[in-house]
Structure 1
């Protein structure tokens, strides 16, 4: 099935990404082009139903960043890096034979240029570099390029902003746009598609809820109708005062994210219990829901996922149900280790909250609230793939096996 990706980008970049995407199977692009990157937040509100979102650059991403949390689909953006800069500089020097010291260039992060120049062991005069920032008007960047040209300090301009390129063309100033390497664009398109497929697979997982209410309660029907409406679920009566609810992980995630269920609980004065279980089948999800219910107290919601991770209690807990992630790094780890993105995110949180970089299986088991055996399986997958390493042992008692000490071996910040 084709993945429909909404793309917010400049009109010029739209042509380039279209030609590249023709060689990628099962991807359909729908464009929302802008004249200036500041328009990205407005275009964000115009996106029609699609599977994922891709922003064509760091600048439109920065302008739209505050609104992306409201987007219910996975999103990604094409980041400027050393590959784009080195490809562009190579093109200028080979096609125009211009010295680097006679070039004016605007970039998101000047350190990228320094890294490229160091890699090629360049020791001559640097080009004129401008840093792009959301707080700096595009017009100011344009005027600086023009001033350098009028002062005869430069012979060429490289710009990361397509609207600046168009204005330079009007002033007949030799210029070119920053070149995003074809392989990089292909990688971002495939990453975005993978994020969409992962999100869909997670969101359609079976979820069973168990609702228990006091006996002889006259509000059974009212409470049941409110909860099933909030979670988009159907139900089956199990006993006189308990019901089994059927929904999907996507519906439940949306309900909890919007705090609809928590708000509903505050309106109902009858002390009911509610728990949910995830699973790859209805029986598995039902068993997890019953196990989660054993932890629930009145006016609390617990969730037991298919990996036996207990989440909650909602709404008291600060834990948010994260069934999808937009972080390509986490997705890559999930793919290599066969661990869920949820588990990887929790391991990252575990490491961030610890005062020491070193930990034992017991420490991680306590944090994840899973069995020691499950934790050891998780750690083995991390170690086997180079994401964790053994750094020592500790003997807490005179008898018994020593505990293995580990450290995570990947970026967590």
Structure 2
């Protein structure tokens, strides 16, 4: 099946990309054309169902950047870089024999022009460079090009903006469009296609959910019905009060992003436990779901992915802890302290998520969601091996011993 890519670009760029796209198999292009890049946000709302979106330049991308977080499919844009500028300058010098210092050129990043000239060890007078910004009307850039031409300071204009090129041509000012290298366009199309295929493969990844409902729960069938509806899953009853759910990663992600599961948790007063596992097979996904369920408490949802990363708890937080590690540093710590690699990973995350380097056993107990006694045993093992040091005491307002203040004494980055 071919990958359908919606392309937002100018009419001139459409002609170029059509001739290049013939080199790529299994893609289908659908164009949405603008007269000016600022029209890109309006065109975004006209896009019909497709697999990916490609912007024919940095300007249309910048104009739609704020909208892209809501787009459920991958997107990409053809970037202007040193290759584009060097290709264009080489073409100009070869075809028109124009001196570098007699050129006015508009670019997204003026540093790219300096980089190209530095690479070829050019030490003469530099061209007139106009900086393109979405905060400045393109008419201003056009006026600067025209002013330089009228004052006889330049012999040629290179522009990245197709509407500016059309105006310059109408005024019979020698000009050319910036030339995106064929190789760069092919690479961008291939990259966009790959992003789409990866997104699809991720979305259709097998997911198994495990639902446990308390024996005295009078609304078990209602909870099951709502969860299967929210996640577009089918189910199999394992026992009187436990069920296996079968869905895809795309359906589950959609339920989490739209807060369908959060709304369900808020509506149901009687507790239930729910966990999901990702996997490259149903068996692997089931095993991961079983492991995730051991971390799950009522009104929380955990997910264990195929890389053994524990995600959650949802909906309150979206932490990430790796249950699998081959980091020799973590394994060495685990061996010395007799703590599991999981606990070491949790300690590292605990440190990275805190604003302060110092903590109490209460802080760590709340993060690990274990008893104070268990937390103090963990801290003692770390103190004994030099991985945690005592840096002070915290006086309480109530009677009792002051609480020790600790600080991790190992790298957590």
TM over 0.5: yes
8 Å CA contact 1:105, 1:129 repeated in 2: yes
Q: How far 1:360 moved relative to its partner?
A: 3.1
Partner residue, 2:119: 119
Which residue does the alignment assign to 1:110? 110
Shift of 1:98: 0.7
Instruction: Report the alpha carbon displacement of residue 268 of structure 1 after superposing the two structures with TM.
Output: 1.4
After superposition, what is the alpha-carbon deviation per residue over 1:351-406, rounded to whole angstroms, capped at 9, x for unaligned?
A: xxxxxxx993459999995999xxxxxxxxxxxxxxxxxxxxxxx979xxxxxx99
Assess, with a 3 A threshold, how the Cα gap between structure 1 residues 364 and 254 changes in structure 2: closer, same or farther: farther
Please tell me whether residue 5 in structure 1 is matched to residue 5 in structure 2: yes
Deviation by residue 1:310-345 (Cα, 9 ceiling, x = unmatched): 11111122348xxxxxxxxxxxxxxxxxxxxx99xx
Kindly tell me: are residues 295 and 406 of structure 1, through their superposed partners in 2, closer, same or farther at Cα, counting changes over 3 Å?
A: closer
CA contact (8 A) 1:309 1:369 kept: no
SS at match of 1:265: helix
| Counterpart-to-counterpart distance in 1, 2:319 and 2:8 | 32
How much has 1:22 moved relative to structure 2?
0.8
- Check the 8 A contact 1:236/1:245 in 2, yes or no: yes
1:47 Cα offset (Å): 1.2
**Offset, 1:263:** 2.3
Post-superposition offset of 1:158: 0.4
In structure 1, stretches of 5+ residues that fail to align are 321-341, 348-357, 373-395, 399-404, 409-413
Unaligned runs of 5+ in 2: 346-383, 387-409
- Alignment of 1:146 with 2:146, yes or no, is yes
CA distance in 2, matches of 1:367, 1:121: 57
Aligned to 1:303: 303
- 1:389-408 equivalences under 5 Å are none
Given that 2:52 and 2:193 are in contact with CA atoms closer than 8 Å, whether structure 1 keeps it comes out as: yes
Is 1:75 the counterpart of 2:72? The answer is: no
Q: Matches of 2:272 and 2:218 in 1, distance apart?
A: 13
The question of whether the paired residues in 1 share the 8 Å contact of 2:311 and 2:318 is answered with no
Match of 1:213 in 2: 213
**1:260 to partner: Cα distance:** 2.0
Matched, 1:360 2:329: yes
Q: Does 1:90 align with 2:72?
A: no
C-alpha distance 364-232 of structure 1, shift in aligned 2 (>3 A): farther
TM-score between both structures, scaled by the size of structure 2: 0.78
Cα root mean square deviation, aligned? 2.9
Question: 1:61 is paired with a residue of what secondary structure?
Answer: helix
Quick check: 1:308–1:370 contact (8 Å CA) kept in 2? no
Structure 1 28/297 Cα, relative in aligned 2: closer, same or farther at 3 Å?
same
Larger radius of gyration: 2
Aligned length: 346
Q: 2:86 and 2:263 mapped to 1: Cα distance?
A: 53
Which structure is higher in RCO with an 8 Å CA cutoff and minimum separation 6?
1
| 1:99 to partner: Cα distance | 0.8
Mapping 1:200-239, distance limit 5 Å: 200-239=200-239
Distance change (3 Å), C-alpha of 1:359 and 1:222:
same
TM-score (norm 1): 0.78
Distance in 2 between residues matched to 1:25 and 1:363, nearest whole Å: 49
| Aligned equivalents of 1:140, 1:367: Cα separation in 2 | 63
Aligned CA distance change for structure 1 residues 182 and 62 (closer, same or farther; 3 Å): same
Q: What pairs up with 1:305-384 in 2 under 5 angstroms?
A: 305-319=305-319, 360-362=329-331, 369=342
Shift of 1:133: 0.8
Cα–Cα, structure 1 residues 319 and 59, in superposed 2: closer, same or farther, change >3 Å?
farther
- Tell me the SS of whatever aligns to 1:179: coil
